[in-house]
Amino acid sequence: MNTSGYRGELPPRDLNMARYVLRAGDAARDKTALVVIHDPAGREAETWTYHALESAVRRVAFELRAKRGLAQGSRVLIRLRNRTAYALAFFGAIAGGLVPIPASSDLTAREVAFLLDDSEAAAIVLDDTLPHGNFAIGLAVVTEAALLAAIEGGPEGAFADTTANDPAFLIYTSGTTANPKGVLHAHRSVWGRRPMYRGWYGITAADRLLHSGVINWTYAIGTGLSDPLANGATALLYTGERHPSIWLGLIRAFDATIFAGVPGLYHQILKQVNGGRLDIARLRHGLTAGDTLPDALEADWRACTGTRLYEGFGQTELSTYLSNAPDFPRKAGTVGRAQPGRCVAILPEDRGETPLPPGASGLIAVHRTDPGLMLGYWRRPDEERAMFRGEWFTGGDLGRMDADGAIAHLGRASDLMNAGGYRVSPVEVEAVLREHPLVAEVGVIDVPQQHGGTAITAFVVTREGGADLSAELAARAECSLAAYKRPRHYVFVERLPKTANGKLKRSDLKTPAVRSATG
């Protein structure tokens, strides 16, 4: 087991993430880089060559830097729907040396206001049909219409001179408090994805990769856009209404060779054929991340399609670093092995920096020399320090490594919940629900469901015993929380389990009776 640090090729000193991604097609500038599909039938689609995509990205860079006067390193919140403009705004900001903050279109005005304030954003790229509240004085507002006009005919800016360690983008995820925390990534993060090319995707320039997620999700930004483009392949982006029934048709119609989704989506696709055989044309294999892939689901998919599913495991701070792949077959009961060059170990759960031997359970840790690892948490030094032990980054996931290096995921050491691949803090959800005047106490957890995945569930003690506040709490959540953060179930109880010190004991909420009532 390698415990000495990252062993892959290190990034060059000078590196701009957008230039690295878009120049991958230099040998064939007229090759299709991106296909944006707008309807389930595939009748409406845009095709972008590498040359056209780079030109559009550089026009966005000019619009933001030269025309809007934003200084290098300024934060730019992207508040757009899942459309072409989102991808162009993200890479355009990076090309210009700015730091985009991809935000979900599901966010409420309250959540947007927090991101703007916490990040001290200098600008927002805005679809003004989305809720956003009032803006601070001095904030540059770039509407989607203005952005599209610049893309159509504006001047092209140059790629900014950035180094591998300069900030490239800022992603907000759940923290240990009631508010999300920013995870700041460097331009080297794109170089840090190179171990995935062979260690997960098995990708080549001939591939056409279709991702089922939306652009603001790190899984979709990386796997769906950055990585196929960086390999001179073709990215297929779908922007229309999502339903499990559409994906097979899109895979066939657009000759996808690799498909990426979450385990629950593969389950829903298989349900449509009820054990029958699926013809998926040119698809070579599927990628899955965001939740644990059940062994039975992988076996069912293989029997139904004749193709394999390759699982990836990671987190916002690093992206995917454990996986199985065409060259590294899946081992039942595990999420994969460390990708080539990465240094991964199991550390004692409580304290210590010495890796545990095979077979021992503890915290999954990655060596801090990995170029894909974040620069740090945005102005959260205490949370950042808590994640490091000497030379190791510990993301809060428990695991066990066998003698072959395959790692079984044993759950989270922290209370963070998994909502379809998004990390959600129960503290953030509880804070919103406690604002209701009739809520005395509330505890939120994610409850495993019968057919895989989890459902966020709120256990509520009311000030008026027996009162059912489900509808009122759901309405409050809808006003204040993104859709993926909202509880799917409300359970009203007389009391919540507590420790001797009066702290909520979340583990006691996850009982078989609870699973039966909510699954």
- How far apart (Å, rounded) are the C-alpha atoms in residues 215 and 238? 10
Q: For residues 340 and 284, what is the distance between their CA atoms, to the nearest angstrom?
A: 22
* pLDDT for the residue 452: 67
In percent, the amount of the chain with pLDDT more than 70 equals 94
* CA neighbours closer than 13 Å in the CB half-sphere of residue 46: 14
CB 239 within 8 A of CB 225: no
CB 367 within 8 Å of CB 5: yes
Global confidence as pTM = 0.84
CB contact burial 222-257 (16+ within 10 A = b; e otherwise): bbbbbbbbbbbbbbbbbbeeeebebbbebbebbebb
Is residue 41 within 8 Å of residue 214, measured between CB atoms?
no
> Contact at 8 Å (CB) between 122 and 76?
yes
Note the pLDDT tens digit of each residue in 313-339.
999 999 999 999 999 888 988 999 999
Tokens of 329: 């077959």
pLDDT of residue 291: 78
pLDDT at 502: 58
**Mean residue pLDDT across the chain:** 90
Q: Which two tokens stand for residue 409?
A: 């995921």
Which residue(s) pair with 456 in the sheet? 446
Of 244 and 336, more confident: 336
Distances (CA, A) of 243 to 387, 419, 440: 37, 17, 38
pLDDT at 511: 63
Q: What average pLDDT does range 118-138 have in this prediction?
A: 91
Q: What is the pLDDT of residue 500?
A: 56
Where do the domains of the chain lie? 417-518
Q: Which one-letter amino acid corresponds to residue 410? A: L
Residue 361 CB contacts under 8 Å (≥ 6 apart), including other chains: 346, 349, 398, 399, 400, 410
DSSP code at position 403: T
Tens digit of pLDDT for each residue in 426-443?
A: 878 888 898 888 888 888
What pLDDT score does 517 carry?
Answer: 46
C-alpha of 455 from chain center: 18
Q: What's the confidence (pLDDT) of residue 516?
A: 45
> Worst-scoring range by mean pLDDT, 7-16, 26-35, 104-113, 444-453?
444-453
Q: Which amino acid is it at 465?
A: G
**Residue with more model confidence, 516 or 284:** 284
Q: What is the pLDDT of residues 42-52, one digit of tens each?
A: 888 999 999 99
> Measured between alpha carbons, how far is 131 from 117 in angstroms, rounded to an integer?
16
pLDDT digits (tens, 9 = 90+) for 170-198: 999 876 666 889 999 999 999 999 999 99
CA distance 309 to 300: 10
DSSP state letter for 66:
I
Fold category of 417-518 in CATH: GMP Synthetase; Chain A, domain 3 (3.30.300)
| Alpha-carbon separation of residue 215 from 81, 209, 351 (angstroms) | 9, 14, 37
**CB pairs under 8 A, 24+ apart, for 307-310?**
307/280, 307/283, 309/266, 309/285, 310/200, 310/201, 310/202, 310/285, 310/286
180 close to 172: Cβ distance less than 8 angstroms: yes
| SS3 letters across 159-227 | CCCCECCCEEEEEEECCCCCCCEEEEEECHHHHCCHHHHHHHHCCCCCCEEEECCCCCCHHHHHHHHHH
Identity at 117, one-letter amino acid code: D
The helix/strand/coil state of 74 is: coil
Cβ-Cβ contacts under 8 Å for 138 (sequence gap 6 or more): none
d(CA 199, CA 7) in angstroms, rounded, equals 14
270 closest CA partner among 248, 292, 238: 248
